[in-house]
Amino acid sequence: LGIRLNRICCIGAGYVGGPTMATIALKCPQLEVVIVDMNEDRINRWNSDDLPIYEPGLPEVVKACRGKNLFFSTDVKKGIEESDIIFASVNTPTKTQGVGKGRAADLRYIESVGRTIAQYANRSKIVIEKSTVPIKTAEAIARVLSANETANGGHKNFWILSNPEFLAEGTAMKDLDEPDRVLIGGQEQDAIMVLADIYANWVPRDRILMTNLWSSELSKLVANAMLAQRVSSINSISRLCERTGADVKEVARAIGTDSRIGPKFLNASVGFGGSCFQKDILNLVYICQQFGLDEVASYWQQVVDMNDHQKSAFTGKIIQSLFNTVTKKKIAILGFAFKKDTGDVRETPALMVCDMLMKDGGLVYVYDPKVLIEDALTEFKYHEIEVNTDQFIFSKSPEEACEGAHAIVVLTEWDEFKTYDYKKFYDKMMKPAFLFDGRNMLDHAELEKIGFEVHALGKGT
């Protein structure tokens, strides 16, 4: 291909770009890795001891590589000029306006990456879609690039690859270290092999899957849709368990031991959250509708609808149990992140739960080991939910959140929540003291012994 293989650049220093590139830098000391982002504040934090994202194991890797073969910069132009292998790891949120509003992916950032590469590329480049994108996005990027291939003087080639990321937040470093698979989609074998050789520095070759571009792009959406579908499926069953005397944990174990079903992603919960599940399913729904596949679209839409139902049913049960009103009642919320081991609150189920409680007049006191109140308020704002800060308070400790509360509501499965002295909390709570376990993670028999009225998910009370 005639490109230089010693340096790579990643555009987008977020939850994916940061950990992924830090891992490449660690595993490939012969490569220089530059991550660029237009967000100066984020880059400054990547260059400090206070990294912009919380991810177990990440600080150690950044520390080991930063300044040696891992660099963070706002100089996008230089990053593009100096690297012939460029990853695009920018955000692809759901469109909030115009055609496809609320469903289609907003591709403005990925398109702007294409245009920026076209503007600054001085030689031929391999351009890699790391972001999750709708099927056929590579075609759009290729068009933007090829329409500009003589810009900057001289003809250039651009090879586009799809290399979706499957890491999960909270376990990103382990997922990157030992991926189930790496997926590379492309049209030119030589370009595919350049990327495969980078991963082969630490990933066994038989786990590096190669497909055509469109299979790769679509597989990413389908993987997330299938995972989310399992959560919605078990959550739907949790509702039935609550009416019938079955226990959803027992049902999950009973079905999960069937090797064809498997045990993972069968934990009933208050609902799935995170920046991607809902966005990617809605995107899949939109794509199906575009092709006139309305039945297929509505099949997948149900996964999101069930998730919304789960969040509101869970909160409805809290209000109903507290004698049909939470007005002026203090409610302790344990956990605001969308899952444990992350400070990320994007699309967290806590959003809808707290909103419903506050609309009913409740005083919500949140304790989360990693979430910042500013991030929670930003997420409310993004969803156009007005928050009265007299009703939404972040507590410094779980004790503070629980003191004088009518109920404890567990929304995130942080390990430390299992270690608390709930007797101490109970003694300082209003009575009857309620506990709603939105993650089914605590010892309910023990809590009942203390005196709590416990409401587990998927278990009749």
* Active site (catalytic) residues: 276
Residue 11 contacts which entry, ligand NAD, ligand UGA, none (Cβ below 5-8 A, type-dependent): ligand NAD
Binding of ligand UGA by 132 (CB under 6 A): yes
The interface region with ligand UGA, picked from 48-56, 161-169, 328-336, 390-398 by CB under 6 A, is 161-169
Residues 6 or more apart whose CB falls under 8 angstroms from that of 193 comprise none
Compute the distance between CA of residue 229 and CA of residue 221 in angstroms, rounded to an integer. 12
Q: Cis (ω within 30 of 0) for the bond into 179?
A: no
- Residue 114, SS3 per DSSP: helix
Total residues at interface with ligand UGA (CB under 6 A): 20
Residue 12 contacts which entry, ligand UGA, ligand NAD, none (Cβ below 5-8 A, type-dependent): ligand NAD
Residue 224 contacts which entry, ligand UGA, ligand NAD, none (Cβ below 5-8 A, type-dependent): ligand UGA
Contact positions vs ligand NAD (CB under 6 A): 11-17, 37-39, 42, 76, 89-92, 109, 112-113, 116, 131-132, 165, 167, 169, 275-276
Tokens of 76: 């996008």
- Residue 221, SS3 per DSSP: helix
Tell me the closest approach of the beta carbon of residue 275 to ligand NAD, in angstroms: 5
277: left (phi over 0), alpha (psi -120 to 50) or beta: alpha
Tell me the closest approach of the beta carbon of residue 294 to ligand UGA, in angstroms: 26
Binding of ligand UGA by 394 (CB under 6 A): no
Binding string, residues 255-274; x marks residues near ligand UGA by CB under 6 A:
----------xxx-x--xxx
Residues 6 or more apart whose CB falls under 8 angstroms from that of 136 comprise 214, 217
Q: Specify the DSSP element, H or E, that contains 205.
A: none
Residue 336 contacts which entry, ligand UGA, ligand NAD, none (Cβ below 5-8 A, type-dependent): none
Please choose, from the candidates 237, 242, 240, the residue with its C-alpha nearest in 3D space to the C-alpha of residue 253.
237
- Residue 36, SS3 per DSSP: strand
Kindly tell me which of 175 and 360 has the beta carbon lying closer to ligand NAD: 175
Residue 94 contacts which entry, ligand UGA, ligand NAD, none (Cβ below 5-8 A, type-dependent): none
Kindly tell me which of 276 and 304 has the beta carbon lying closer to ligand NAD: 276
∠ at Cα 225 (229, 171), nearest 5°? 95
Tokens of 350: 């806590």
Residue 39 contacts which entry, ligand UGA, ligand NAD, none (Cβ below 5-8 A, type-dependent): ligand NAD
Residue nearest to ligand NAD (CB): 14
The percent of the chain in helix, strand and coil, each rounded to the nearest 5, is: 45, 15, 40
Tell me the closest approach of the beta carbon of residue 455 to ligand NAD, in angstroms: 30
Asked if 416 and 392 touch (Cβ cutoff 8 Å), the reply is no
Kindly tell me which of 275 and 440 has the beta carbon lying closer to ligand NAD: 275
∠ at Cα 423 (418, 425), nearest 5°? 85
Task: Name which position in 166, 202, 420, 426 contacts ligand UGA (CB under 6 A).
Answer: 166
Please choose, from the candidates 285, 228, 231, 274, the residue with its C-alpha nearest in 3D space to the C-alpha of residue 105.
285
Kindly tell me which of 31 and 353 has the beta carbon lying closer to ligand UGA: 353
Tell me the closest approach of the beta carbon of residue 320 to ligand NAD, in angstroms: 35
Kindly tell me which of 260 and 396 has the beta carbon lying closer to ligand UGA: 260
Binding of ligand UGA by 452 (CB under 6 A): no
Task: Name which position in 109, 277, 394, 414 contacts ligand UGA (CB under 6 A).
Answer: 277
Tokens of 253: 């174990």
Residue 438 contacts which entry, ligand NAD, ligand UGA, none (Cβ below 5-8 A, type-dependent): none
Asked if 20 and 130 touch (Cβ cutoff 8 Å), the reply is yes
Compute the distance between CA of residue 249 and CA of residue 269 in angstroms, rounded to an integer. 11
Helix ranges (DSSP H) in 291-393: 294-321, 349-359, 373-382
Residue 121 contacts which entry, ligand UGA, ligand NAD, none (Cβ below 5-8 A, type-dependent): none
Binding of ligand UGA by 339 (CB under 6 A): yes
Compute the distance between CA of residue 224 and CA of residue 39 in angstroms, rounded to an integer. 27
Kindly tell me which of 279 and 439 has the beta carbon lying closer to ligand NAD: 279
Compute the distance between CA of residue 38 and CA of residue 47 in angstroms, rounded to an integer. 14
Please choose, from the candidates 115, 135, 148, the residue with its C-alpha nearest in 3D space to the C-alpha of residue 185.
135
The interface region with ligand UGA, picked from 196-204, 224-232, 292-300, 374-382 by CB under 6 A, is 224-232
Residues that bind ligand UGA (CB under 6 A): 132, 165-169, 224, 227, 231, 265-267, 269, 272-274, 276-277, 338-339
